[in-house]
């Protein structure tokens, strides 16, 4: 009994941890794929070229606030008011977290 207890506890912890690991990896993959749909305009990993606004390193709450203003129409835009309507809140949260984790390119 004194040996069985820690073993059983260890199996329990493993059973809890296993289903979480793939889902975290999938979220990361999903976030990267979603963020890639912004790359045409905002550059690879959010590092924009020329006059386009960079997203790399932007704090997630700033991106979410800008996004909400585009979506509601509070912030007039040429294109983002349309694009912002094409993603769910959960997708935008993943995208925002992804760009926040990217390093802005050195000039
Ligand atoms: C077709 C080009 C295009 C695509 C694709 C695009 N954007 Fe934009 N984005 C723009 C333009 C242009 C602006 C400037 C506002 C405007 O005129 O719409 C902008 C502005 C922004 C801003 C505000 C930046 C700032 O510093 O003020 C954010 C945030 C943003 N986009 C996020 C995204 C995200 C996230 C995606 C992908 C889901 C995305 N955009 C996809 C063209 C694009």
Q: Ligand 1, residues 31, 52, 83: which to mutate, most atoms within 8 A of Cβ? A: 83
The enclosing domain of 59 has a CATH number of 1.10.760.10
Confidence (pLDDT) at 6: 57
Residue 79, domain extent:
23-100
Evaluate if residue 20 carries a pLDDT over 70.
Answer: no
- Tally of domains in the chain: 1
pLDDT digits (tens, 9 = 90+) for 35-82: 999 999 999 999 999 999 999 999 999 999 999 999 999 999 999 999
Instruction: Tell me the H-state helices in the chain.
Output: 4-36, 39-42, 60-72, 80-83, 89-100
Ligand 1 atom closest to 87 (CA): 38
6 found inside a domain: no
pTM, two decimal places = 0.84
Tell me if residue 10 falls in helix, strand or coil.
helix
5 found inside a domain: no
17 found inside a domain: no
16 found inside a domain: no
8 found inside a domain: no
Q: Ligand 1, residues 53, 78, 92: which to mutate, most atoms within 8 A of Cβ? A: 53
């Amino acid at each position: 009994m004194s040996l069985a207890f820690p073993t059983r506890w260890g199996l329990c912890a493993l059973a809890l941890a296993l289903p979480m690991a793939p889902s975290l990896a999938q979220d990361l993959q999903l976030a990267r794929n979603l963020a890639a749909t912004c790359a045409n305009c905002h550059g690879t990993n959010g590092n924009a070229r020329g006059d386009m606004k960079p997203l790399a390193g932007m704090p997630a709450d700033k991106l979410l606030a800008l996004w909400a203003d585009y979506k509601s129409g509070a912030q007039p835009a040429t294109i983002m008011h349309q694009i912002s309507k094409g993603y769910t809140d959960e997708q935008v949260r993943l995208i925002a977290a992804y760009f926040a984790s990217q390093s802005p390119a050195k000039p």
